[in-house]
Amino acid sequence: MASSSRMLTVVVLAALVAGAMCAVRVKLTVEKGSDKKKLALKIDYTRPGDSLSEVELRQHGSEEWQPLTKKGDVWEVSCSKPLVGPFNFRFLSKNGMKNVFDEVFSTDFNYLSRMIGLPLQNACSVVEIVY
């Protein structure tokens, strides 16, 4: 018969695996007003009892993470030069969950708009990530 410490180890490992496999959805919506030098995102983060505390962007070819600023329901970043995609995002939640998503979408917001068949100024592009 297995010892209680071995049984506890198995239960803890099973709980960790189950927790890691629970799907959490992150939905990024490119908001109106985004352009070559500014990115405005509505981010829906669906982890019960948690919310985002920090969001950062890393442009293609860069090692630097740029913080996004939260204004109401929208996270924004502005640059003096045009943004270079594809974009990488790093999220930190208030409960300490950290995630990095690489090459989420392209620099060309018009490309994202064409995917849903609408011009940029009339549409919001949506990327949904499940992890």
Identify the bridge partners of residue 13 per DSSP, sorted by sequence position: none
Q: What is the pLDDT of residue 57?
A: 95
How many domains does the structure of the chain reveal? Answer: 1
Read off the pTM.
0.68
Residue 4 lies in a domain: no
Residue 97 lies in a domain: yes
CATH of the domain at 65: 2.60.40.760
Can you list the positions of beta strands (E) in 1-131?
Answer: 25-30, 38-45, 52-58, 66-67, 69-71, 74-78, 88-93, 98-101, 125-130
Residue 51 lies in a domain: yes
pLDDT in tens, 26-37: 888 888 888 889
Q: What is the pLDDT of residue 121?
A: 38
Residue 59 lies in a domain: yes
Q: Which two tokens stand for residue 112?
A: 């994202």
Q: What is the pLDDT of residue 108?
A: 62
If you average pLDDT over every residue of the chain, what do you get? 74
Residue 70 confidence (pLDDT) above 90:
yes
Residue 66 confidence (pLDDT) above 90:
yes
Residue 8 lies in a domain: no
Question: Which residues constitute the domain of residue 30?
Answer: 24-130
